[in-house]
Homo-oligomer: A and B are copies of this chain.
């Protein structure tokens, strides 16, 4: 199932930064009452990507009742910090996040980038404390899902339980894919795999498969991919020289998707 390409709520990737800024300015001028931000899961355009997948109308109503109001998170703001008490999961409604863990000595590692319909906070369940930071990379909105209530509801709704388990399992599978990337791919393959993953996810949300705006810095990409920012930058330039991409700072146009794909699936062939 694919979402309508120009749904307003999920459109945050499409407009230029300038347009985006205008929208945000408008929101500041005309503050909306929190209650107005509440959008029912049942009418959410992300319901086919998010927690509600497979739920009956009845269950959906129950889910609606426990999902709190949409909460805005400004670009650069932290949704939760490592060590914070874990109480809720968050579904990204609009915008873009990164999660990162840090070692004792300060080094840190971006563990993922989350876009609309993806869940944040699953790491907190294990110890009742969040194990990573979640930071908004653009002005965003999240739906807060109190965890204890989700557990309760998923005892009553088999499809919800099942979907929730699937989402956790999918995160595990994704992580294993990242390990494969970090453990055995070279710089070019990593960046190609990263771009293909991003475009594929954007496409699933109704956006173009060939043009995207990176919401993260070269350093954040590098951290995620286990590379230094200079290497990321150089590799972008290389891809551009080879005609695979057009790179203008954070605006990327994919010119040769199959070329990227060839890079990932064995540079020997």
Contact = CB atoms under 8 A, between A and B. Distances in A.
Nearest to A152: B158
Interface stretch (A26-34, A118-126, A198-206, A241-249): A118-126
B165 A151 contact: yes
A166 B127 CA distance: 8
A179 B184 contact: no
A158 B154 CA distance: 10
Contacts of A169: 122-126, 168
Nearest to A162: B151
Contact of A179 (B122, B158, B178): B178
Contacts of A173: 123, 126-127, 131
A176 B132 contact: yes
A141 interface: no
Contacts of A103: 180, 184, 265-266
A268 interface: yes
A252 interface: no
Given A125-B166, A151-B162, A223 B183 contact: yes
Interface in A136-187: 151, 154-156, 158, 161-162, 165-173, 175-180, 182-185
A166 to B, nearest CB: 5
B179 A109 contact: yes
A72 interface: no
Contact of A172 (B123, B151, B180): B123
Number of chain copies forming the complex: 2
A101 interface: yes
A114 interface: no
Contact of A161 (B124, B155, B171): B155
A266 B109 contact: no
Return the 8 tightest CB-CB contacts between A and B, nearest first. A105-B266, A125-B169, A175-B175, A183-B226, A182-B182, A126-B169, A126-B170, A109-B180
Interface of A: 101-109, 111, 122-127, 131-132, 151, 154-156, 158, 161-162, 165-173, 175-180, 182-185, 223-226, 265-266, 268-269
Given A125-B169, A175-B178, A178-B179, 20 more contacts: A102-B180, A103-B266, A105-B266, A107-B184, A108-B184, A109-B179, A109-B180, A109-B184, A123-B172, A126-B170, A132-B176, A151-B162, A154-B155, A155-B155, A155-B156, A172-B175, A175-B175, A182-B182, A183-B224, A184-B226
27 contacts: A101-B179, A101-B180, A107-B180, A107-B185, A109-B179, A109-B183, A111-B176, A111-B179, A123-B176, A124-B169, A125-B166, A125-B169, A126-B167, A126-B170, A132-B176, A151-B161, A151-B162, A154-B155, A165-B168, A168-B169, A172-B172, A172-B175, A175-B175, A178-B179, A183-B224, A183-B225, A184-B223
